[in-house]
């Protein structure tokens, strides 16, 4: 993939916040992608040397059979501290390096993190999607913001995630009687469509196959 850098990554938190607020205006939460989808990808991060080195992984799977087609790993020095709400500035630089190595271009990227379910509606999935202008979905393992009603225990059940009277995502049960995940639009995809693709990418486990494979690569397991 060829990627055009939109901004610098060596920033203060105030500069990073200003970039989030600027790029958020470009986020599209409607379906703007071609179907049928042939390839889906997962991106995930790991860290080495006590956090000094970022290790990003990309796994591209065929869809709908979810067979691994291509993978890449990229490492670079970590240049931004761990600050909740600003994780994209810590993680995306290495993710972009890994994406530049792949030849199989995915139709949708599932990110291990939030999309618009973020205080400034600019989690890592939205930030990445805007930068590379591709459809992205946030699939987070943990809650960040918002309120929701209890979700039924059956796979496929979900409840809207509400923040400041706005639906910013869904709390989705991807496996019966297992903790839910937190799904939100990243870029160029609506919430109902995001839920649909997340469920179609989770045939057996709690997390999408894209995330599971990328996580193993990023963690060097």
- Residue 71 in contact with residue 19, Cβ under 8 Å? no
Q: What is the 3-state secondary structure (H, E, C) of 161-218?
A: EEECCEEEEEEECCCCCCCCEEEEEEECCCHHHHHHHHHHCCCCCCCCHHHHHHHHHH
Q: What mean pLDDT do residues 78-98 have?
A: 94
33-72 pLDDT tens trace: 999 999 999 999 999 998 899 999 999 999 999 999 999 9
> What is the rounded average pLDDT for all residues in the chain?
95
Q: What mean pLDDT do residues 119-143 have?
A: 97
Q: Residue 221: is its pLDDT beyond 70?
A: no
- Name the 3-class secondary structure at 60: strand
> Model-level pTM?
0.95
- Give the DSSP letter of residue 149: P
Residues forming a β-bridge with 47:
54
Phi, psi of 114, rounded to the nearest 5 degrees? -85, 155
């Amino acid at each position: 993939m060829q990627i055009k850098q939109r901004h610098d990554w060596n920033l203060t938190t105030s500069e990073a916040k200003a970039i989030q607020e600027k790029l958020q205006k470009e986020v599209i939460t409607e379906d703007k992608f071609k179907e049928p989808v042939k390839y889906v990808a997962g991106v995930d991060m790991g860290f080495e040397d006590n956090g000094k080195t970022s290790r990003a992984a990309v796994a591209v799977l065929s869809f709908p059979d979810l067979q691994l087609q291509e993978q890449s790993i990229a490492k670079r020095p970590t240049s931004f501290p761990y600050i909740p709400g600003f994780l994209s500035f810590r993680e995306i630089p290495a993710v972009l390096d890994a994406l530049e190595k792949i030849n199989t271009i995915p139709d949708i990227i599932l990110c291990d993190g939030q999309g618009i379910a973020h205080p400034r509606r600019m989690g890592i999935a939205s930030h990445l999607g805007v930068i590379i202008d591709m459809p992205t979905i946030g699939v987070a393992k943990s809650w960040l913001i918002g309120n929701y009603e209890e979700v039924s225990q059956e796979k496929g059940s979900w409840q809207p995630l509400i923040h400041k009277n706005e639906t910013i995502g869904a709390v989705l049960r991807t496996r019966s009687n297992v903790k839910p995940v937190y799904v939100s639009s990243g870029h160029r995809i609506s919430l109902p469509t995001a839920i649909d693709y997340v469920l179609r990418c989770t045939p057996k486990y709690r997390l999408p196959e894209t995330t599971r494979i990328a996580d193993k690569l990023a963690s060097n397991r």
